[in-house]
Amino acid sequence: MTTTQFKMYLRIFSVLIITGTVAAQLKGPNVCTRQEPYTTIIRVSKQQPYQVKEKAWCFSMLPRCTKYSIKFRQVFRTETLTKYRLVEECCEGYAPDADDEQCVPVCVESCVHGKCVAPNTCTCAHGYGGPSCDISCPNGKWGRNCQNDCRCLNGGTCEPLTGDCACTPGWRGDACERACSPSTYGHKCDEICQCKNNATCDPSSGACNCRPGFTGPLCEQECPVPGEACPQNCRCQNDGQCKKFTNDCECTAGWTGDVCANRCPAGRWGEKCERPCECANGASCHHVTGKCQCEAGFTGEKCLDICPIGTYGVDCAHTCTCEHGGACAAQNGSCTCRPGWRGPHCQLRACDDAKWGPHCDKDCDCNPETTDLCDPWTGTCECAAGWGGDTCSRQCPLLTYGKGCRSTCRCENNGLCSPINGSCLCAPGYRGLHCEEKCPYPLYGDNCADTCDCHNNATCSHETGQCSCKPGFDGLKCDRPCNGKTFGLYCRQPCDCENDAPCNPVTGECVCGPGYTGARCERHCEPDHFGQGCSQPCNCSRHAVRCHHVTGDCICEDTWRGVRCETQCSAGTFGAACSEACRCANNSSCAADSGRCVCAAGWTGERCDRPCPERTYGAGCTQRCPHSLPGILFFSYLC
């Protein structure tokens, strides 16, 4: 084996193993990426439901009812997960350079008198040709024995082996016989002329030749004197600057050529086109900014990333249309179908509906009523929403729903979940998309459709509508106050009061009737007072023993009579010798000397013929009726 052959095989070997050995820090162009699968073990948590038996009040008294609720506990399991990572490597036909930093092209046959510029492509030195730049002919000749004459015109040179013409800028055609069209210029005539006002464009450099009356790099300015020629001081385009003495152009970033009319060559950008593009996967870069312009199927700042799954094309702007798990090519969206599927979008089964297997000779075991699909390759049943199991014969377990029962219900507060679409049927007392909201007062029950009927500021169960009474009230609707002998929550506490006194239905504090006092209403009023709260002084003459502690009626000494014990006349008389007849009504008495009526308790007026005004009672109508306690008969008095 010759040294040349050994070097050739060594280069081929390096290309073959490059996929597994290139580091991930490659720079510059010709870097490609691929997705590499790898496995990892993860710990997955899951909320596992379980039932809890609880006791709850059904009514305001025993017994209590049994109630079941769903609670959750966290459980863990390990899973082996296949993930994908992007691996950078040299594109096909490229290999890392000696420093393992950039990908350089590989030519299987070395370029003898030239440079390898692309995979298996040599750029030959002047006068040499052939795939390996090993053929040389005199100027104007080509062929193996250089016996053929070149036919290239206008300065074009011919390739020594094939005779193909390489045209100079401004010319095109097989023999370089055609000049660029007026609107194009440059190498292969691929630049667009920018000249204005019908100026012509130099086919080689792109410099503008202005018509009379115009000037400027692009002939965009009118001369000071219309119609006359004016000097074209600086012909530099694209903001290029003329050097002071030579008038040569100094180009801005991204431009080159005599008048800065040519973009940087492919793979270069920036000042003097010195910076190499650093774009991967065959992307080009903008000649001014260096920004990568990704090929279809790639994205990212340097076009290193493959389009996200489900998208393809330029800028990953298109949506894949592959069905049944078919893989979508990131470049053009073409589908690679899983086994068992066919068609441009993998939409067609390879087997009949009820068959599966490589030869379509096996029968599907899926329940036809609850199965969406029998996989034509594996026979696996793809269950309809709400069904699971190997043959799709089992309804989704509790708290799962959807296709294959793979989704977890999100219903709260014991709401029931539809096994088909996961919609929630709320328990009584709740509403909302996920049954997350309690019924607002005063609503309760299914769908919060019922209205509570509770009184006296009682609260209402949002689930059952059961009333929870405030202290002092009882009954299913809390509409029955305590009866005066009990107090507190549901009127269960007995009052501790004497002399038939009721107690406050909320606090149990005794409410004494007229004539009684003390914490338990156990004492009569003092002898000189009577009535409600013992607040009324007795209104009796000095001939009274005392007044009644409840009514204030005067209790007279022997021989004395009258409401105030003010006379010794018999009832109904007054005056000298008690000879005058009183005209006082309602058992009232009259003054012994004047006959003025002294009204009995509960009456007023000149003749004591009018009852006390509303909310008053007693002697002289001076006592106020007590504040009413709802539903309580206040002793035997009617005010």
Place of tokens 């594996």: 378
User: 327-334 contacts: CB < 8 A, separation 24 or more?
Assistant: 329/297, 330/296, 330/297, 330/298, 330/306, 331/295, 331/296, 331/297, 332/296, 332/297
pLDDT confidence of residue 357? 93
Q: Is the dihedral of CA 120, 121, 124, 127 positive or negative?
A: positive
- What is the reported pLDDT for 404? 83
pLDDT digits (tens, 9 = 90+) for 36-73: 888 888 887 766 677 777 766 555 555 666 766 677 67
Separation CA 370–CA 420 (nearest Å): 11
- pLDDT-derived band at 21, boundaries 50, 70, 90: very low
Count other Cβ atoms within 10 Å, centred on residue 560.
19
Beta strand extents in 57-181 (DSSP E only): 65-90, 94-96, 103-105, 114-118, 121-124, 128-129, 135-136, 141-142, 148-149, 157-158, 165-166, 171-172, 178-179
Better pLDDT: 572 or 456? 456
For domain 355-408, the CATH architecture is: Beta Complex (2.170)
In this structure, are residues 327 and 307 in contact, taking their beta carbons and an 8 Å threshold? Answer: no
Name which residue leads in pLDDT, 383 or 21.
Answer: 383
pLDDT-based confidence at 616, cuts 50/70/90?
confident
Q: For 422-459, how does the pLDDT look when each residue is reduced to its tens digit (9 = 90+)?
A: 999 999 999 999 999 999 999 999 999 999 999 999 99
pLDDT tens digits for range 218-231: 988 888 877 666 77
Rounded distance between C-alpha atoms, residue 424 and residue 475, angstroms: 35
pLDDT at 12: 39
- Rounded Cα gap, residues 447 and 431, in angstroms: 6
Question: Is a pLDDT exceeding 90 seen at residue 623?
Answer: no
Beta bridge partners of 76: 45
pLDDT in tens, 529-556: 998 889 889 989 888 888 999 888 888 8
In 10 A of CB 362, how many CB atoms? Answer: 16
Q: Write phi, then psi, for 85 (nearest 5 degrees).
A: -130, 150
- Position 1 scores a pLDDT of 41
Torsion of CA 393, 399, 403, 406, to 10 degrees: -110
Where along the chain do its domains lie?
Answer: 3-106, 355-408, 546-624
Asked if the bond preceding 63 is cis, omega within 30° of 0, the reply is yes
Give residue 62's pLDDT.
56
Distance between CA atoms of residues 132 and 595, nearest Å: 156
Mean pLDDT of 255-275: 91
- Are 350 and 342 in contact, with CB atoms under 8 Å apart? yes
pLDDT at 228: 66
Long-range pairs of 350-353 with CB within 8 A, sequence gap ≥ 24: 350/376, 350/377, 351/376
Where does the pLDDT of residue 496 fall: very low under 50, low under 70, confident under 90, or very high at 90 and above?
very high
What amino acid is encoded at 437 in this protein? E
pLDDT for res 375: 93
* pTM of structure: 0.49
Question: What is the token pair recorded at 131?
Answer: 């795939």
Answer whether 636's CB lies under 8 Å from 613's CB.
no
pLDDT band with cut points at 50, 70 and 90 for residue 130: confident
- In this predicted structure, what is the pLDDT of residue 47? 66
Distance separating alpha carbons of residues 82 and 89, to the nearest angstrom: 22
Supply the pLDDT for residue 133.
83
Q: Please report, as a single letter, which amino acid is at residue 637.
A: Y
With H, G, I as helix, E, B as strand and everything else as coil, classify residue 204: coil
In total, the chain counts a number of residues equal to 639
Q: Write b or e for each residue in 192-222: b if 16 or more Cβ atoms lie within 10 A of its Cβ, otherwise e.
A: ebbbebebebbbbbbbbebeebbbbbbbebe
Instruction: Say if residue 326's pLDDT is above 80.
Output: yes
Report the chain's terminal Cα–Cα distance, integer Å: 135
Report the range of poorest mean pLDDT among 23-27, 176-180, 398-402: 23-27
Band of residue 562 on the pLDDT scale cut at 50, 70, 90: confident
